[in-house]
Structure 1
Amino acid sequence: MSTSENPKSQIPNPKPKNWYSSWFDTPYYHILYKDRNYREAQIFMDNLTHYLNLPEKAKVLDLACGKGRHAIYLNKLGFDVVGADLSENSIAEATKNANDTLHFVVHDKREVFAEKFDAIFNLFTSFGYFENREDDIKTLMAIKESLSEYGFAVIDFMNSQNVIDNLIPEETKEVDGITFNIKRFIIDGYIIKEIDFEAEGKKFHFTEKVRAYNLEDFQNMMNETGIYLLDTFGDYKLKKFHKNTSERLIMIFK
């Protein structure tokens, strides 16, 4: 998979990357999504950790943690947390919040951790980025093999059917003086978002490309990897999942 960035407008430290490495490593990704609901994220973590009944000081992995908003809050709840992400810039920023029970590492989610965790969270649709399905299988296997004997894992994914049914083809968002022109469409089982904008006198173009996995797709992959799906929820309040109307597809497994 090749980056969709305009080669004439490379950000510092250019090197061949996949779309997610290129886009997530820029400051503009965080500007575009700066208005995400942090309180909602905290409520989700409260509900999730209560549902899982995690022991005090449980070891928790926030896989694909970005700048660490979930990891930081989980640590405040009393857990021993590791935040892992492929983006070096995001991990550098997140590490400013590190302490004795909160650590951040650059890590490819397809690789197994040496240590075992009581819970592994893969949140905010941080799955389905790879070109090959086999890499998603590897990710699931790595999650399974990084769990302790009594550990649980959680994938918080978009409800693809709901996203497709309510897709906004074109949108313009102005954030911090930057006008982001966004186009969305479906191609070959992927939900694709094209993002164009100008900043600091340069033109930029990035792509987000996520597989439109549904619950059956996840069940098939989990069956292939010997993973047991325990429960599914449809939103951050952990309400029942409904295929056509739920906002999220939240899966608890081990």
Structure 2
Amino acid sequence: MAESLHPETHNTKPVNDTWYASWFDTPYYHILYKDRNYREAQIFMDNLTHYLNLPEKAKVLDLACGKGRHAIYLNQLGYDVIGADLSENSIAEANKNANETLHFVVHDKRIPFEEKFDAIFNLFTSFGYFEAEEDNLKTLIAIKESLSDYGFAVIDFMNVHTVLENLIPEETKEVDGIVFHIKRYLANSFIIKEIDFEDQGQKYHFEEKVKAYTLDDFKSMMDQAGIYLLDTFGDYKLKKFHKNTSERLIMIFK
């Protein structure tokens, strides 16, 4: 899995620190995932915005935007974009690219925005981090409440069935001279990734966790949230979703 999930950490910050203040805020997170396919991500956003038929200068929210690469691209497509993320370091970095129609804010995704958006994108498995089910439900409700009357939301999640089928239990990956030892497994309905490495004589251990939500799980939560699921796709080219073979679970709702 190439996504960042729900991390906990030792050695770098106090153990009681929250996940989003640890792994996402370290330079190592960005080193490990530096080879992501951003061209594929741009094609995905081209396809999405075309499918949604967004009006010119539509207001778009990139929820869990990281350092803002995708928000920047959406802004280049002509949209009025806000990128929101819990990581202060990431938002500080993203803010270097801010302009009149591109803004970045530190924001907890469980809280609705006062302003309303024509589209809200939650991309690349940036959902299901929270231990408590109600917090993930709150996130869905907050997305719904932040949409305009004619707005659409998109959650791009992993397809749990395919991920578990192809889970690589252990691998080693060297990036920028750092050797990352990675373990993956399913436990307590979370897909967990343990990451161990050493840098400048210091040992680090991080853990990423994401809830193994299926489409049925999302449908159940969406029912509770009063959300209408409009369509599902199985990859970034917006091909039909097939439970046993699709790479992704992409949901369009309002």
Could you state the TM-score of these two structures normalised by the residue count of structure 1? 0.96
Gaps of 5+ in 2: 1-5
Determine if contact 2:153/2:253 at 8 Å carries over to the other structure. Answer: yes
Determine if contact 1:20/1:129 at 8 Å carries over to the other structure. Answer: no
Post-superposition offset of 1:209: 0.3
Aligned length: 249
Aligned partner of 2:199 in structure 1 is 199
Q: 2 CA distance for matches of 1:118 and 1:224?
A: 22
Root-mean-square deviation over aligned CA pairs: 1.3
Post-superposition offset of 1:112: 0.7
Aligned partner of 2:187 in structure 1 is 187
Equivalence map 1:103-252=2 (5 Å): 103-252=103-252
Q: 2 CA distance for matches of 1:185 and 1:198?
A: 22
Runs of 4+ with >3 A deviation: none
Asked whether 1:6 is paired with 2:23, we answer no
Aligned partner of 1:53 in structure 2 is 53
Deviations 1:100-155 (A, max 9, x none): 00000000000010110000000000000000000011000000000001000000
Determine if contact 1:160/1:214 at 8 Å carries over to the other structure. Answer: yes
Could you state the TM-score of these two structures normalised by the residue count of structure 2? 0.96
**Distance of aligned partners of 1:3 and 1:144 in 2 relative to their CA distance in 1, 3 Å threshold:** closer
Q: 1 CA distance for matches of 2:169 and 2:33?
A: 18
Post-superposition offset of 1:19: 2.3
Post-superposition offset of 1:82: 0.1
Equivalence map 1:55-134=2 (5 Å): 55-134=55-134
Identity, % of aligned pairs?
A: 79
1:18 counterpart letter in structure 2: T
Q: 1 CA distance for matches of 2:121 and 2:250?
A: 10
Post-superposition offset of 1:3: 6.7
State the secondary structure of the residue aligned to 2:9.
coil
Gaps of 5+ in 1: none
Determine if contact 1:3/1:17 at 8 Å carries over to the other structure. Answer: no
